[in-house]
A and B are shown apart, each in its own frame.
Chain A
Amino acid sequence: MSETRAPNPRDAVITGIGLVSCLGAGLDAHWEALNRPGGFQPVVDAERFAPFTVHPMVPLELDRQIPKKGDQRQMEAWQRIGTYAAGLALDDAGVKGNAELLGRMDMIVAAGGGERDYAVDGAILSALPHAANPEALLNERLMNELRPTLFLAQLSNLLAGNISIVHGVAGSSRTFMGEEPSGTDAVRIACARIAAGQGECFLVGGSYNTERPDILLQYAMGRLLWRREYAPVWRRQADGGGLVLGSVGCFLVIESRAHAAARGARASAHIAAITSDRCRREPGQASANAARQLAAVRPRLAAGSSAVISGASGAPGPTTEEESFLQELGLPVRATATALGHSMEPSLPANLALAAMAVSRGRLFGPLEAAEAPMEGELQQVLVTSWGHWRGEGMALVEAA
């Protein structure tokens, strides 16, 4: 038996979702792609960065969320994706253009950094070996060839900055860095502040553009990229595992139940718990963290109407360990990196979005590969996991609002 708890005015509820990925823009596009008759079909590009496969961002009608061309030009793709997704979330929450509310909305963004200018880098790297004074040449070429505003398109906190400029979110603005755990901690801290009365209404999320040689270079140095023909997350493990990265933008409007009720907003889901921890990733340590996180929410968990949305990245060590951990739970599991690609900072927010979508519709979407079991009954709760490909273990419990 699960414990039932009365709704609390300090509950953190999701009232707006903006999600963009290879599957489309918005929740309906995702629901449709994840419930395709005849089984799930991944959207991948295996050509552009061969031998690596990526999940490319669906073409976005940027003008709909970033009306000024000047703003679009000032951003790199990762910022455009994020600013677009933030706009969708604000629309969904019914707060777009509500200057009073946006002016006091708190923002926490999980972000990496922006893209390099490949032409400039390539030209400099080509010239340096032939230069009499390479350091002086580096100075000269960077001074002359870097676009002055490129820095602003690269700075981690400038996704948040662009959201303030384009959408007017101006209560506060914080950026967390650090791959997957930064996305978990962004949501965790927003929820903790809501519970403690340190905030009422938050915009939380992040974005990731994987269609970038410099991002692929980072993970190629770690020998972490999957380089065979595309395979889903769990099946990949039999052949050594690896990352197939995806471009994703996801923002959530999360507010106190009291604040949502006062403005007549409809909540799609309740974030009943969210925790994060870390370890050195010696064998079993991540599972031990997850077991502690699970123990804290287990009294609340209803058997028969719950499922797992896993953030398993595909990276071999943590993915196989998480697979064993989840098998013991005996719940239906969906590893969404199979569908969206793994997206680092926004991966947990995106999985919260998918979980909120599923519980609000009362049904889990179909299996993404043969190893995943179908779920027929009503869905009321989703456990969301986020084990970083390197570090960090997060878990959230999402319930119908």
Chain B
Amino acid sequence: MAGSDRDSKSRPVVVVTGMGVLTSLGAGQADNWGALTGGRSGLRRISRFPTDGLRTTVAGTVDFVPTEEATAAELTEKLAGMVIEEAIAESGIGSKGDFPGPLMLAVPPVEMDWPQRRALAAASGANETVTYEDLLRAAESGDFSRWYRRFLFASVGENLADRFGTKGSPVATSTACASGATAIQLGVEAIRRGEAEAALCVGTDASVTQEALIRFSLLSALSTRNDPPAAAARPFSKDRDGFVMAEGAGALVLESLAHARARGARILGVVEGCGEKADGFHRTRSSPDGRPIIACLREALEDAGAAPETVGYVNAHGTGTPENDKMEWLGVSAVFGERAGAIPISSNKSMIGHTLTAAGAVEAVFTLLAMQHGRLPPTINYEIPDPALPVDCVPNVARDAQVTRAVSNSFGFGGQNVTLVLGAAPG
């Protein structure tokens, strides 16, 4: 393939020329990679709001980025802006405020938060019983137009498009916890069909609010192992008991190889293939036979024109819920066969928690960094192996390994499954 700008299916090769990442471990590739390969956890006791009466009191919040009104939408947008700046700077593409391609954005559903609801209730002057009629009356009595704009679903993408000068209509996608990977897939497809030479693919999520935490808690999805916070996320361990909500963002500048070469850009990796499969079994659970996950993995490998034997690392979805890790292993073992137990399969979520909408993008960045640095980030808190999951999860300590092709999985509520096949930068 050396020298060709096209893949084995005659499509433009899609490469990564810039990356940005931000998690509870810090801002930027350097801080994150250092912490991640050092086995450090970014999970902590929640300080953003009181946790009285909550079953879960830990999260991977991003507390070092100041906001004005402290809405989830505002912080979500800020994190995205930071990782985009990092990715564009590394890529050197376009010019300030002029990115030469579309924005594909994975963003959590935008909604009004409780402080605004309470402010409207106060503005209504209602005394004893507050209803939505009071809120509606209050909404028209004052100037709340900034909240109207803030809580439009399009607001985050439109504001980022204004700031970075991306081209065309920004796509804001939600495929639950697979959203970040979907954003990348949308960018890959646009480049492959020749619609764009570059795409800015971003996943961002800063929605650790009281209600968001409680919603997941009521679905029994969260770990309740609160002490110490760093031990809460335990992917693949027998004593795993749920995921830990977290915040973060990841950005990737994708380009056609031809475009990247023409401008002399440094190539950081290749997005070789994408697979997706919907699962109609249940709103929150996977088909017990694992068929959709298996089909998703196989479709990604087929799209990449890659045989399973050539995959050297799996960056797991690995949420640490009993269900997810079991189903993911079922899928991986079906696709990789006898070799499955010998492939390193690690979960970044053991350290950064589950960055939800952002996870697919954040973890794609980490997967590419692993190949770039020749080092696999560990799965920490792996103390009690689960005999049902005979997985090499790179337990507790990072490992040096030269990997040229890796898989990153993302699965989500609503039957969402997306797998990316990522390749190392060509020699």
Task: Give the shortest distance, in Å, between A145 (CB) and chain B (any CB).
Answer: 10
Return chain A residues, CB-CB under 8 Å to B194.
Answer: 196
**Contact present for A155 and B109 (CB under 8 Å):** yes
Contact of A160 among B132, B145, B217, B278 (CB under 8 A): B278
What interface size band does chain A fall in? Answer: 35 or more
Q: Which of A206-220 contact B (CB under 8 A)?
A: 213-214, 216-220
- Whether the pair A189, B171 counts as a contact (CB closer than 8 A) is yes
Distance of A80 Cα from B211 Cα, bound (Å): 24
| Chain B residues within an 8 Å CB radius of A168 | 280
Tell me whether A198 and B189 are in contact in the complex, defined as CB-CB below 8 angstroms, given that A142-B210, A142-B211 are known contacts. yes
Contact status of A164 and B192, CB under 8 A, knowing A107-B278, A173-B175: no
Q: Can you list 7 A-B pairs, Cβ within 8 angstroms, ordered by A?
A: A146-B214, A151-B215, A156-B109, A170-B278, A177-B109, A217-B135, A217-B136
Q: Please, which residues of chain B bring their CB within 8 A of the CB of A216?
A: 136
Q: Does A178 contact B (CB under 8 A)?
A: yes
Contact pick for B140, options A179, A192, A220, CB 8 Å: A220
Are B218 and A155 touching (Cβ within 8 A)?
Answer: no
Q: How many residues of B contact A (CB 8 A)?
A: 82
CA distance A216 to B211 in the complex (A): 21
- Measured between beta carbons, the chain A residues less than 8 angstroms from B140 are 220, 223
A128 touches B118 (CB 8 A): yes
Given the known interface contacts A139-B210, A158-B283, the answer about A171 and B278 at a Cβ–Cβ threshold of 8 Å is yes
Number of A-B contacts (CB under 8 A): 245
Q: Give min CB distance, B50 to chain A, whole Å.
A: 4
- Of the candidate stretches B31-39, B153-161, B318-326, B397-405, the one touching chain A is B153-161
What are the 6 tightest A-B residue pairs by CB atom distance, in nearest-first order? A161-B414, A222-B148, A178-B154, A213-B132, A164-B280, A196-B193
Instruction: Answer whether residue B107 sits at the interface, using C-beta atoms and an 8 A cutoff.
Output: yes
CB-CB under 8 A for A175 and B174, given A139-B210, A198-B192, A220-B139? yes
A198 to B53, CA, bound (A): 50
Q: Among the interface residues B120, B413, B415, which one has the most CB atoms of the partner chain A within 10 A?
A: B415
Chain B residue with Cβ nearest A198: B189
Cβ distance B390 to chain A, nearest Cβ, rounded Å: 30
A157 touches B148 (CB 8 A): no
B44: A residues at CB distance < 8 A: none
- With CB as the reference atom, state the residue of chain B lying closest to A111: B174
Question: Scoring A residues 137 to 158 as 1 if CB is less than 8 Å from chain B, else 0, what string do you get?
Answer: 0111011001011111011111
Q: Are B168 and A276 in contact (CB under 8 A)?
A: yes
A303 contact set on B, CB distance < 8 A? none
- With A157-B174, A157-B412 known as contacts, the answer to whether A278 contacts B169 (CB < 8 A) is yes
Known: A113-B111, A170-B415, A181-B154. A278 touches B52 (CB 8 A): no
| Min CB gap B305→A, angstroms | 15
The interface stretch among A59-67, A233-241, A317-325, A384-392 is A384-392
Q: Is the CB of A140 within 8 A of B278?
A: no
A135 within 8 A of B: yes
A residues near B415, Cβ cutoff 8 Å: 161, 164-165, 170, 173
Is A139 within 8 A of B53, CB to CB?
yes
Contacting pair A173 B278 (CB below 8 A): yes
Which of A136, A151, A175 makes the CB contact (< 8 A) with B53?
Answer: A136
**One of A37-45, A118-126, A305-313, A367-375 at the interface:** A118-126
Question: Chain A residue with minimal CB distance to B161?
Answer: A278
